[in-house]
Amino acid sequence: MQLDIMSGPLSMPQMAETAAAVEAAGFGGLWLTEGGREAFLPSGAAAMATDSITLGTGVAVAFPRSPMITAQNAWQLAEASNGRFVLGLGTQVKAHVERRYGTPYSHPGPRMREYVQATKAIFRAFRGEEKLLFEGDYYQFSLLPAQWSPGPIGPPDPDVYISAVLPYMSRVAGEVCDGVHVHPFHSPRYLSDVQIPAVTDGVQRAGRSLNDITFVCPVMTAVGDTEEQATAAREHARSMIAFYGSTRTYSPVFELHGFVGLSDQLHAKQREGDIAGMVALINDEVLDNYIVSGTWDSLGPTLVARYGNLGVNVRVMSYTAMGQINKDPSSLERWAAVAAAMRG
Question: Beta-strand (E) ranges in the chain?
Answer: 3-7, 29-32, 54-57, 60-61, 85-90, 134-135, 140-141, 159-164, 179-182, 214-222, 291-293, 313-318
Estimate to the nearest angstrom the gap between the alpha carbon of 209 and the chain centroid: 21
Rounded to whole angstroms, the Cα distance separating 15 from 150 reads 26
Give the Cβ contact number of residue 131 at 10 Å.
9
pLDDT, residue 224, reads: 84
What is the model's pLDDT at position 225?
81
Fold of 3-226+291-343: TIM Barrel (3.20.20)
Q: Is the peptide bond preceding residue 260 cis, with omega within 30 degrees of 0?
A: no
Confidence check: pLDDT of 305 > 90 = yes
SS3 content of the chain, % helix, strand, coil (to 5): 50, 15, 35
Instruction: Kindly report, residue by residue over 18-55, the tens digit of the pLDDT.
Output: 999 999 999 999 999 998 999 999 999 999 999 999 99
Whether 178 and 213 have beta carbons less than 8 Å apart is answered as: yes
With bands split at pLDDT 50, 70 and 90, how would you rate the model's confidence at 344?
A: confident
The SS3 call for residue 269 is helix
So what's the pLDDT on residue 129? 97
Reply yes or no on whether the pLDDT at 230 is more than 90: no
Closest CA relative to residue 221, chosen from 290, 141, 167, 286? 290
Contacts of 112 (CB under 8 A, 6+ apart): 62, 89, 91, 162, 169, 172
**Burial (CB count within 10 angstroms: exposed 0-12, middle 13-18, buried 19+), residue 101:** middle
Q: What is the DSSP string of 53-106?
A: SEEEES-EE-TTS-HHHHHHHHHHHHHHTTS-EEEEEE---HHIIIIIS-----
pLDDT tens-digit profile of 64-104? Answer: 999 999 999 999 999 999 999 999 999 998 999 999 999 99
168-186 pLDDT tens trace: 999 999 999 999 999 999 9
User: In this structure, how many other beta carbons lie within 10 angstroms of the beta carbon of residue 273?
Assistant: 9
Regarding beta strands 60-61 and 54-57, do their DSSP bridges make them parallel or antiparallel, or are they unpaired?
unpaired
- Residues constituting the chain: 344
> What is the C-alpha separation between 22 and 208, in angstroms, rounded?
34
Within a 13 Å sphere around the CA of 114, how many CA atoms are in the beta-carbon half? 16
Interval 109-141: pLDDT, tens: 999 999 999 999 999 999 999 999 999 999 999
Q: Give the 3-state secondary structure of residue 319.
A: coil
Which pLDDT score, from 0 to 100, does residue 226 have? 85
